[in-house]
Structure 1
Amino acid sequence: MIPRDCTPLGLALAVLAAVAIVVLPGQDPAPAAPAVPSLTDVWPGARITEHAVSGAPYTPLAYLDPGISAGVTRASDSIRLTVGDRVLREVPPSGSPRFAVATAPDALVWLELSDITGTGSLWRAGPRGENPVLVTADTGRVVLLDSQYDLVVHDEQAGWAATRGDATEMRTVALSGGPVTVTPLPGDFALTAWPFATSAAVEQAGPSELVDVRDGRVTRVGGQSAELVDCTPSWCRVQVLRQSGTARFDLMRPDGSERRRVGGKGIRPAFGDVVVLDRFAVVVDDDRGALVLYDTATGRAADLAAEFGTVLARGPFVWWSAGGNEALTWRVLDLRTLEASA
């Protein structure tokens, strides 16, 4: 504020002093936050493969290798599950069918469900979708969370979770067919890395549980009343909550050890799964509008993409969409190329 009795000379000197304050050396601005490196800055051997989509919208549900995927094409008159150019199933859009796909060295397995009833059928085929056959129609009301653990293949069996009343059923069946084995768990659970189920699917703050489906042993994972804890047998994601969202994003072991901060209030999960390959977490930095990969083995983080839509992960692959339906591109990262270049 300039005093009312300031003379013209005094005013001029005040202005010059103000200018001098602005331009005098040594008045450096506050340092900017350190930039997050790109993926290839951290892992020079990383490889991202691009797939442009033409025609009806296509969503990859599993990658068999960086060049071929199993996925769903949604047209106005049908919904098709395909592997490359091979059509595994073609069904009408009525009932809003959904699919969950899992891969194994010698088989491709999928659940085909009605989004209205939650029930459906389990199928298997060769590793590239050859000779599909029905395994069972006894699925129950399946729990689908767009997770890599919605359907798991283990020991020549397929496993998934279903709901019945106030309980969760862990269901398994041999890939060769036969009766479905049902293991009930009281409460709400979802499968994670076999043979464990997790209560994290409930999305409630506080402690979480891991249950060994084989013998019922329970591991209780500590969490405060303002923490949302999601776990696999190897890593847990901890989101410290506040009124307007997440204040902090951490990772830790289920026993509480090795806890480390991944980011602050602008960081959130890119999808439901905690880590991929028991090592890599994929997060969104909302403050910068970036998709980020965090490596639990080294504590390093790197930007995956500045433009992204849907983000998914299965096995060693992470993929995300860019552009709209008229010019949709899927970009897939094989995480094994990072391990090789570490």
Structure 2
Amino acid sequence: MTATRGTAIRASAMVVALLVGGWLVFSGPARPAPPAPPGPPQLSLRKAFPAALVTDSPGALPDGAPFIPGLYVDATTQVGVAPTPDGTAQRVVLRTGSRVRELQRVAQSRFPRFTAFARAGSSVLWVESTATTTEPLTHRLWRASIDGDSAAVPLSADTGDAEFLGAEHDLVVHGDRVYWAAATPDGRDTQVRSVPVTGGAVTVEPVDGAYELSAWPWLQTAANVRQGGGRHELRNLETGQRVTVVRSPAETVDCGPSWCRSSISAGTGGDTSYDVMRPDGTGRRRVGGTGTFAAVPAVALLDRFAAVTEAGTSGAFDSARRLALFDVATGRLVTVADGVDQVMADDHTLWWSAGARPAGVWHSLDLATLAA
């Protein structure tokens, strides 16, 4: 990966990671962004969705170590990361109620980071990234069974020039394979890499241009290109279809196949608007204004819910920030919780922490209970 592309992608991904509080965009006519109506009135979660299922779990393991979920298997089963009690290593663990099963352990001296958790049937996948003063940054893909007591097994270290920084589609599972994107050595084009979930050789599919993975089978233009004012498009890996994203020069846009989020920055004063729209620029809806930020990398969970945080000031890290969901199906903004800390999501669950670390609490919302 070239220094320019790598630096830009790292900067973009770090901004998203900071905004979500976790531990895990542009082309078209040069015209002003079309106006959107004022932001919607806000409702409580229980009033908007009486059947909403929220489950609580401790912020620490039985051994006292702080625990950060990376994936919810179900309301009471999570896979995540925790240090050893003595702080000498980091662990990937599977927690079911009060039962904890260690899946992997890496010495802290290797500065491990675990990201890109994904589920593939009865298995969970993740990426282990390590680097030391004498060893370069290395990524390894791992798999473990959710059931039973078998040890985790490595799938591949042949990840190419990839970066795994906690975005929703760092890993994409489709069929019996898991996919990720890597840059070519010159940084101009893309390699869509994949390996069987059960293990095997890595397959590389070259794609001209700089892209990152979106919901299967889509790619979207890489962050450094779209943020640099280049053409922003969605590209279908199976059909070759390309969709140009319509946006104004003032907008920062990030897209999935169905929805995009748009923000217009006012410099140090924060974003002045936060909208959702279709990739072709239609269906624009105002979510919020100054002090409204993306809560998670995903644009619209279940293709319906945009998760945002609302700060008491124009800073994304206000300790009194509120977590809300904008329902694109109804145009309603729904308060999920106040005083949130970290916020994360996968394809069926939104979860957030509250309370002093490490003795705080993780709260999870089953998104399927909102769409029922």
TM-score, normalising length from structure 1? 0.83
1:111 is displaced (CA, Å) by 1.7
Distance of 1:163 and 1:115 partners within structure 2: 20
Corresponding residue of 2:266: 242
Matched with 2:138 is 119
Gaps of 5+ in 1: 1-32
2:223 maps to 1:201: yes
Distance 1:309 1:187, change over 3 A: farther
Residue number in structure 1 paired with 2:82: 73
User: Separation in 2 of the partners of 1:78 and 1:45?
Assistant: 41
1:103 aligns with 2:119: yes
Q: Select which of 204, 218, 222 maps to 2:246.
A: 222
Change (3 A) 1:94 1:195: farther
Matched, 1:46 2:52: yes
The aligned counterpart of 1:276 is 301
Amino acid at match of 1:231: C
* Aligned counterpart for 1:252 among listed residues 269, 273, 277: 277
Confirm or deny: 8 A CA contact 1:200 1:229 kept in the other structure.
no
2:237 corresponding residue in structure 1: 213
Q: Number of residue pairs matched? A: 308
| SS of equivalent to 1:141 | coil
Q: Deviations over 1:302-340 (max 9, x none)?
A: 111111111100011000111232422111100111112
Letter in 1 for 2:252: L
Partner of 2:357: 325
- Counterpart-to-counterpart distance in 1, 2:165 and 2:241: 24
Identity, % of aligned positions: 40
Paired residues of 2:66 and 2:359 also in contact (CA < 8 A): no
Residue 149 of structure 1: SS of its match in structure 2? coil
State the distance in 2 between where 1:269 and 1:98 align.
23
CA contact (8 A) 1:170 1:213 kept: no
Alpha-carbon distance in 2 for matches of 1:78, 1:60: 17
Q: Kindly tell me: are residues 90 and 304 of structure 1, through their superposed partners in 2, closer, same or farther at Cα, counting changes over 3 Å?
A: same
Does structure 1 retain, via aligned residues, the 8 Å contact 2:40–2:286? no
In the aligned structure 2, how far is the partner of 1:168 from the partner of 1:114? 23
Structure whose CA Rg is larger: 1
Q: How much has 1:286 moved relative to structure 2? A: 1.7
The counterpart of 1:144, out of the listed 144, 164, 184, is 164
Separation (CA, whole Å) in 2 of partners of 1:134 and 1:276 = 30
SS at match of 1:94: helix
Aligned to 1:62: 71
User: What amino acid is aligned across from residue 143 of structure 1 in structure 2?
Assistant: E
Is the contact between residue 91 and residue 105 of structure 2 (CA under 8 Å) also seen in structure 1? yes
Query: What is the correspondence of 1:131-210 to structure 2 with a 5 Å cutoff?
Result: 131=150, 132-165=152-185, 166=187, 167-199=189-221, 201-202=223-224, 204=227, 206=229, 207-210=231-234
Return the offset for 1:245: 2.8
Return 243-252 or 58-67, whichever deviates more.
243-252
Q: How far apart are the structure 2 equivalents of 1:168 and 1:129?
A: 38
Q: 1:78·1:93 contact (CA, 8 Å) conserved in 2?
A: yes
Distance of aligned partners of 1:205 and 1:247 in 2 relative to their CA distance in 1, 3 Å threshold? farther
Q: Structure 2 CA distance, aligned partners of 1:290 and 1:205?
A: 31
Which residue does the alignment assign to 1:11? none
1:57-106 Cα deviation digits (max 9, x unpaired): 21100000011100000231111101111111111112322222101333
8 Å CA contact 1:49, 1:331 repeated in 2: yes
CA RMSD, 1 decimal: 2.2
